[in-house]
Amino acid sequence: MMAIDGARLIEDLRELAGFGSFGTGVDRPAFSDADMAARRWVCDRLADAGLDAAIDNVGNVLGRTDAHQAVLIGSHTDSVPKGGWLDGALGVVYGIEIARAVRAAGIADGAGATGVDVISFQEEEGAFLPLMGSRAFCGEVSGAEFDAASNADGHGLRQAIADWGLDGNPPARVDAKRHTAYLEAHIEQGPRLEAAGLKIGVVTGLVGIRRFRIACAGQADHAGTTPMDMRRDAGAALVRLATALLDMFEAEAAPETVWNIGQVTFRPGAFNVVPEAAELLVEFRDTSPDRLVRLGDSLAAVVAAADGASNVAVTAVDAGGIAPAQLDQRLQAAITAAAADCGAPSVALQSGAGHDAMVLSKHVPAAMMFIPSIGGRSHHVAENTSDEDIVLGCRVLARTVESLIAAS
């Protein structure tokens, strides 16, 4: 097998975590100083690994092998604000280490061979426009989307690109003839592997997401002087509606479906004022497109049943969504076999979060591999994985790449 240098791998991850370090995590939103310094560091490491490396016109860092074809390995190096050190970074540093290992093994030499390209996508986390880097890499972002996107400070995406002098750079693009596969390793960001004592998750697909903003409109009244039967209590209506939604999901969801009422707000929000307005944010996720549709219909039925009861108007607004993605079965089999080769117990599971692989899977055969998250934590400085599990994951991914190159 190709030789993975575990100490070097961990050292690289720690060095990368130094850019924008925040406690035990990182604060490295897309196009921040820390993010761009990290990208230059990644670019240098890719060049050291013998790849032709450059930052493209949206901030993606691509290192290209001189082989004729390539397995593309990558993820992203931007983070959520005050996030963890492994989310995204892990998949990029795995790519760097595997590119070095492939080169050292000499298995991708020659113009007709298959090598390894490595990419760090920009702006996966959505400071401006989620999955922007991978979507741009796949030619999916329109000029209008670029024009409209801005971050929480009101800074435009186009301006951020111009600020860093990137707009003249050549774009990097996926190439279905060149890229025989896209492999993305990532921390699980959930508790399942750890709870089951497993080391590798072979991802079958990425869930689709549907989001709704549900609002109740009533009337503010004095909560002492207004009899109960004369109120138009938006808060009570929302509480009962939210319970009905939870009941609906429990009754109709599949075992893997997840849902969340993530936010509830009341206005004006005082002990002694009947709420005039109340709102909730709800999302649900499933890999089945049909089930996403059916659950959306059931949500609409719950809202329709609540609308007008107690003289409170209830409306649901679609707050966007993402279609589910299925990953390549041949690549899943290759990861499963590689895990067995490395003695790493594995399981097939779905990804409950979005990833760049979601975008890539529409253009090239794509796969994802998870390693355990301690306590299932992520998007938080407490995010972590043991060094041992990190190194084992890299060995499994390297073994997968080796088998794909051998079969090419």
Q: Which residues bind its own copies (CB under 8 A)?
A: 188-192, 195, 207, 209, 211, 220-228, 230, 233, 235-236, 238-240, 242-243, 246, 253, 256-266, 269-275, 278, 281-283, 285, 319, 351-354, 376-380
Query: In what helix (H) or strand (E) does residue 265 lie, and over which residues does it extend?
Result: strand 258-267
| 6 φψ region: left (φ > 0), alpha (ψ -120 to 50), beta (else) | alpha
Using omega within 30 degrees of 0 as the cis cutoff, is the peptide bond preceding 268 cis?
Answer: yes
Task: Please list, residue by residue across 105-115, b when 16 or more beta carbons sit within 10 angstroms of its beta carbon and e when fewer do.
Answer: eebbeeeebbb
Least Cα distance to 205 among 349, 321, 336, 362 occurs for 349
Closest approach, Cβ 354 to its own copies, in A, equals 8
Between 63 and 393, CB nearer to its own copies = 393
Give the residue from 252, 258, 248, 244 showing the smallest Cα distance to 216.
244
Residue with tokens 């329109």: 142
Nearest approach, Cβ of residue 353 and its own copies (Å): 4
| Shortest reach from residue 179's CB to its own copies, in Å | 27
Beta carbon nearer to its own copies, 219 or 408? 219
Q: Are 264 and 277 contacting, i.e. CB atoms less than 8 angstroms apart?
A: no
Cβ proximity to its own copies, 236 vs 335, nearer residue: 236
Smallest separation, CB 18 to its own copies (Å): 25
The residue among 161 and 214 lying less far from its own copies, judged by its C-beta, is: 214
**Least gap, CB of 92 to its own copies (angstroms):** 20
In whole angstroms, the minimum distance from the beta carbon of 352 to its own copies comes to 3
Phi, psi of 370 (to 5 degrees): -105, 145
Pick the closer one to its own copies by CB: 217 or 281: 281
Closer to its own copies by Cβ: residue 184 or 233: 233
Residue 184, both tokens: 């993305």
Measure CA of the first residue to CA of the last residue in the chain; give whole Å. 17
